[in-house]
Amino acid sequence: MPAVGIPPAAPVPRRPGGRAATLMSRRPGRRGLVGVVVTALAATLLAFVPATQAQAAPVLLSQGKPVTASSQEHYGTPATAAVDGDNGTRWSSAAADPQWIRVDLGAPASLSQVELRWEAAYAKSYRIETSQNGTDWSTAYSTTTGAGGVETVNVSGTARYVRMLGTARATGYGYSLWEFKVFGTTGDDPGPVIPGGGDLGPNVHVFDPSTPGIQAKLDQVFREQESAQFGSGRHAFLFKPGTYNNLNAQIGFYTQIAGLGLRPDDTTINGDITVDAGWFNGNATQNFWRGAENLAVKPVNGTNRWAVSQAASFRRMHVKGGLNLAPNGYGWASGGYIADSKIDGQIGNYSQQQWYTRDSSIGGWSNSVWNQVFSGVQGAPATGFPEPRYTTLDTTPISREKPFLYLDGNEYKVFAPAKRTNARGTTWENGTPQGESIPLSRFYVVKPGATAATINAALAQGLHLLFTPGVYHVDQTINVNRANTVVLGLGLATIIPDNGVTAMKVADVDGVKLAGFLIDAGPVNSPTLLEIGHQGATTDHAANPTTVQDVYIRIGGAGAGKATTSMVVNSHDTIIDHTWVWRADHGEGVGWETNRADYGVRVNGDDVLATGLFVEHFNKYDVEWYGERGRTIFYQNEKAYDAPNQAAIQNGSTKGYAAYRVDDSVDTHEAWGLGSYCNYNVDPNIRQDHGFKTPVKSGVKFHSLLVVSLGGMGHYNHVINDTGASTVPAGTSTVPSTLVSFP
């Protein structure tokens, strides 16, 4: 039977050469007098400043819309910067005539005005041109005496595309615009303006130190959520800055606990934040979908217990003591994630099979089971793989921490941390956190019952999205088209696509930040569930990448669901920072064809980095990588338990589909700390030729790999390609076959 889903199709356009070669080929940027003044002022201000208030549609039509240009001076001045609503970022062209910048409004609009906010390098002669199809252009305005500064010109007519065509420069540099704004209306009745801000809804529980009954509320929600693995309850506990005494916050399914300070130490709990596994007889391998963020905790007995598995993040935390990652009684636990955190004492790994810790500071680490990986962690153990099974990178090459809600006085804001390169340690211990502070008034606060049409209207209006805890059915794709948009979920907010639509698509623009939500496949097959960039995307986003953080995808488990490919990454430079993409092996709506999902994650973009990648149980390939210069730090996988027989997973002449496949066209790729496990419990006689598949090239490198048969339920013949020992000799003993490096 032919493969179902998105075919590899034509080769994806790639940027020539490596990142260093690309950057060295571009001449240094030149900001001009205005840019120098802006830079000097910025250096004297606080490390974060409120972003400029976005104007609402239908007046401003161009902000965040797809934009292209004839050229780009260097990587820091993309066309998208001219429509991002930020007067501190700009597009600049090559130093030649003519040059143009074009915005696609998405639909025909009645035009009224164009505003050009020039940098010092402006146009002496230019035209404003309009088009219905992007090919045939009409002149709406023309001048040969451009004055620079802020020029506002009146235009008329109906068009979808608007461009500034510069024909003569006023300086020896190129053309440079801080902002290119197009105003008009999209119809006779543009509809109501959607307000930003508002309350956070009934399932966000906000406490201050004087709030009565905090422990009772924590206990009530835990009773509801402790074993509600596939329930509909969603909750967020938010603690205002201050000190809270004698609390034990037990965290169940779909529950988030977080502080509302700018730093973790602004909010201290003298007590415990606990995840254990009493509901599952001491087995923590199903403790999914929960999180703790932005708090300091001083454990009662000196050690806090956080016994979790996939989709459970521990971010921006300060544990004033030790941290135990195993359940009471030291039963099994199956993987988790720590980032931007400080653990004063030792972390007891104990029975955790795999774990990833990034950009943190720890007092020590004990034990290794299969696969423990560290990057940018002060106090991490040295690499010892295969025994002890530690893989340690001194720094994380690129990182940007997850956005979070906080209180600035009495005003809610979302803080979006800045990008770091070669990061090590936390972002918050020394000095003012770096990043952008965005008032809640610039967010559409999404509450249960909101429609996809309203969500899209809010995005088109220039608002960010804050999903409050709940389950959201969408009958059309959520389209995130504006650069630097934040989409943040609280309490594991869950999006379910109806009628086979893609749940969310992100345009090929700079700096979108997706964080903190779950996409749950619907019963009608979706071709994809999450797309980052369009197919064939070519824009360089190295200066301001899109990030995907604590965004989880599920097919089946809560009910029948289907999706051909769960996540497709087309945009260059995207950072995938902690995701669990899971075709369910238990729960409702589970079966080889019932929750059919052939492919987990497909990466087409170049220079994509994955830090903390968990992908499991897909009918065919779990991860496929087509982009150049991709990197993965930590990968955890299980092959589909429910394959009915060998024929069901036969891949041409190859037995089984690799857990992680790099396409033969790729010349450069590198990955550290990868594990794949099989548990073919329907037919234990199934064989996988290998866990990993890659071209053998000097630029393709793998470090610290393992495959393991869980109790002898199926086996791997090799680790990667035809290299690495078979798991067959281990029999039912669940002993991994390891490989230090390949080739």
Active site residues: 638
**Closest to 720 (Cα-Cα) out of 658, 650, 678, 656:** 658
Using an 8 Å Cβ cutoff, are 368 and 723 in contact? no
Per-residue tokens: 626: 């087509």
Residues 6+ apart with CB under 8 A from 630: 603, 606, 607, 608, 609, 610, 662, 666, 669, 670
Using an 8 Å Cβ cutoff, are 726 and 717 in contact? yes
In this structure, what are the phi and psi dihedrals at residue 379, rounded to the nearest 5 degrees? 90, 5
The residue count of the chain comes to 743
Using an 8 Å Cβ cutoff, are 507 and 534 in contact? yes
Tokens 């921006």: give the residue.
316
What is the Cα–Cα distance from 529 to 519, expressed in whole angstroms? 7
E-strand ranges in 570-682 read 575-583, 599-603, 609-616, 623-625, 630-638, 650-651, 654-655, 660-662, 669-678
Residues 6+ apart with CB under 8 A from 153: 113, 114, 116, 128, 141, 143
**Closest to 457 (Cα-Cα) out of 107, 197, 192, 201:** 192
What is the Cα–Cα distance from 739 to 386, expressed in whole angstroms? 7
Residues 6+ apart with CB under 8 A from 51: 85, 86, 436, 437, 438, 442
What is the Cα–Cα distance from 103 to 572, expressed in whole angstroms? 21
What is the Cα–Cα distance from 704 to 673, expressed in whole angstroms? 5
Q: Is-cis flag, bond preceding 13, omega within 30?
A: no
Tokens 């929960």: give the residue.
290
What is the Cα–Cα distance from 368 to 385, expressed in whole angstroms? 10
Provide the CA 729 distance to its chain's centre, in angstroms.
40
What is the Cα–Cα distance from 112 to 61, expressed in whole angstroms? 11
What is the Cα–Cα distance from 197 to 445, expressed in whole angstroms? 6
What is the Cα–Cα distance from 200 to 491, expressed in whole angstroms? 11
**Closest to 311 (Cα-Cα) out of 598, 567, 518:** 518
Using an 8 Å Cβ cutoff, are 21 and 639 in contact? no
What is the Cα–Cα distance from 466 to 448, expressed in whole angstroms? 12
What is the Cα–Cα distance from 331 to 352, expressed in whole angstroms? 9
What is the Cα–Cα distance from 372 to 381, expressed in whole angstroms? 10
E-strand ranges in 176-227 read 176-185, 204-207
Residue 728 amino acid letter = V
What is the Cα–Cα distance from 459 to 485, expressed in whole angstroms? 8
The secondary structure of 351-404, three-state, reads: CECEEEEEEEEECCEECCCCEEEEEEEECCCCCCCCCCCEEEECCEEEEECCCE
